[in-house]
Amino acid sequence: MGYGFVDKIAKLIPFELGMTLEKALEDEPLLRERYDTEDDVKQLIDLAQNLEGIARNAGKHAGGVVISPTTLVDFTAIYCESGSAQLITQLDKDDVEAVGLVKFDFLGLRTLTIIHWALQMLSTSTIFDINTIPLNDPQTFTLLAECKTQAVFQLESRGMRDLIKRLQPDCFEDIIALVALFRPGPLQSGMVDDFIDRKHGRASVEYPHPLLEAILKPTYGVIVYQEQVMQIAQVLAGYTLGGADILRRAMGKKKSEEMAEQRAIFIAGAIKRGVDHHVANNVFDLMEKFAAYGFNKSHSVAYALIAYQTAWLKAHHPAALMAAVLSSDMDNTEKVVLMVKEAKAMNISLALPNINQGVYTFTLDHQGGIIYGLGAIKGVGEAAIQMIVAEREKKGPYTDLFSFCERNDLQKCNRRALEALIKSGAMDVFEVPRGRMFASLDNAMLLAEKKKRDLRHQQLDLFSQAPAFLHTSVSYVACNPWNEYMRLQAEKEVLGWYASGHPVRHYATELSYMVTSTFAQLQEKYRHSPKMPYKSSRHIVTIAGVIVALRTMMTKKGQRMAFVTLDDGISSLELAVFSDIYTQYRDDIVDGRLIIVTGEVSWDTVGEQLRLRAQSIQTLEQARIQHAKAILLHISADDMTPEMLRELEKILFPYQGGHCPVYVDYWHDNQSTRILMGEKWAVTPHHALIDALCLLLSEDGVSVGY
State yes or no: pLDDT of 361 exceeds 50.
Answer: yes
Task: Tell me whether strands 594-604 and 64-67 are parallel, antiparallel or unpaired.
Answer: unpaired
- What is the C-alpha to C-alpha distance for residues 265 and 233, in angstroms, rounded to an integer? 10
- 92/63 Cα distance (integer angstroms): 14
What is the pLDDT at residue 506?
82
The mean per-residue pLDDT over the stretch 542-547 comes to 92
Q: Which pLDDT band holds residue 477 (cuts at 50, 70, 90)?
A: confident
| Residue 181, SS3 per DSSP | helix
> 343 forms bridges with which residues in the sheet?
none
Looking at residue 466, what is its pLDDT?
44
Render 110-150 in DSSP notation, one character per residue.
HHHHHHHHHHHHHTTT----GGGS-TT-HHHHHHHHTT--T
Chain mean position to CA 294 = 31
Q: pLDDT band for position 125 (50/70/90)?
A: low
With a CB cutoff of 8 Å and minimum separation 6, the contacts of 29 are none
Checking if the pLDDT of 672 tops 90, the result is: no
Question: Mean pLDDT: which of 24-28, 481-485, 693-697 is highest?
Answer: 24-28
pLDDT tens digit sequence for 632-670: 999 888 888 889 889 998 999 998 888 889 999 888 888
Query: pLDDT tens, 676-703?
Result: 988 888 998 888 898 888 888 888 889 8
- pLDDT bin (cut points 50, 70, 90) of residue 152 is very high
CA pair distance 245, 227, nearest whole angstrom? 9
Closest CA to 502 of 573, 394, 605, 592: 592
Over range 334-361, report the average pLDDT: 90
Low-confidence winner among 274-288, 375-389, 452-466, 604-618 (lowest mean pLDDT): 452-466
Mapped onto helix, strand or coil, the DSSP state of residue 673 is strand
Q: What does pTM read for this prediction?
A: 0.76
Q: Can you tell me the distance from the alpha carbon of 653 to that of 101, in angstroms, rounded to the nearest whole number?
A: 81
468 band by pLDDT with thresholds 50, 70 and 90: very low
pLDDT of residue 472: 46
| Burial bucket for residue 590 (CB in 10 Å: 0-12, 13-18, 19+) | exposed
| Cβ 630 vs Cβ 676: under 8 Å | no
* Helix residue ranges per DSSP H, 16-157: 21-27, 29-37, 39-51, 93-98, 110-122, 138-145
Amino acid, res. 502? H
- For the segment 226-276, what is each residue's pLDDT rounded down to a tens digit? 899 899 999 999 999 898 888 888 877 767 778 888 889 999 999 998 889
Q: What is the pLDDT of residue 530?
A: 39
**In the predicted structure, residue 623 carries a pLDDT above the cut 70:** yes
Cα distance between residue 151 and residue 143, in whole Å: 12
Asked if residue 374 lies in contact with residue 352, where contact means CB atoms within 8 angstroms, the answer is: no
- CA 215 vs. chain centroid, Å, equals 41
> Which of 205, 210, 297, 305 is closest to 248 using CA atoms?
297
User: Domains of the chain (ranges plus CATH)?
Assistant: 3-51 (1.10.10.1600), 64-105 (no CATH), 128-302 (no CATH), 341-471 (no CATH), 504-624 (2.40.50.140), 628-705 (no CATH)
Nearest-angstrom CA–CA distance, 138 and 312: 10
For residue 124, name the pLDDT band (cuts at 50, 70, 90): low
Taking residues 24-46, report their average pLDDT.
93
Q: Which helix (H) or strand (E) holds 603?
A: strand 594-604
Please give the single-letter amino acid code of residue 88.
Answer: I
Distances (CA, A) of 569 to 87, 101, 572: 53, 56, 8
Mean pLDDT taken over the chain: 87
| pLDDT of amino acid 126 | 65
List CB contacts of 81: < 8 A, sequence separation 6 or more. 60, 88
Q: Give the per-residue pLDDT at 608.
A: 61
Whether residue 535 has pLDDT greater than 60: no
CA distances from residue 213 to 231, 292, 297, 669 in whole angstroms, order as listed: 11, 21, 18, 91
pLDDT tens digit string along 553-597?
888 777 889 999 898 888 888 889 999 899 899 889 988 889 999
Give residues with Cβ within 8 angstroms of 195, minimum separation 6: 167, 177, 181, 219, 220, 222, 224
Q: Where are the alpha helices (DSSP H) in 148-276?
A: 158-167, 172-181, 184-189, 191-199, 213-216, 226-237, 241-253, 256-272
Is it the case that residue 532 has pLDDT exceeding 80?
no
User: Mean of the pLDDT values across residues 193-216?
Assistant: 91
**Residue 467 pLDDT more than 50?**
no
Highest mean pLDDT among 530-539, 564-573, 616-625: 616-625
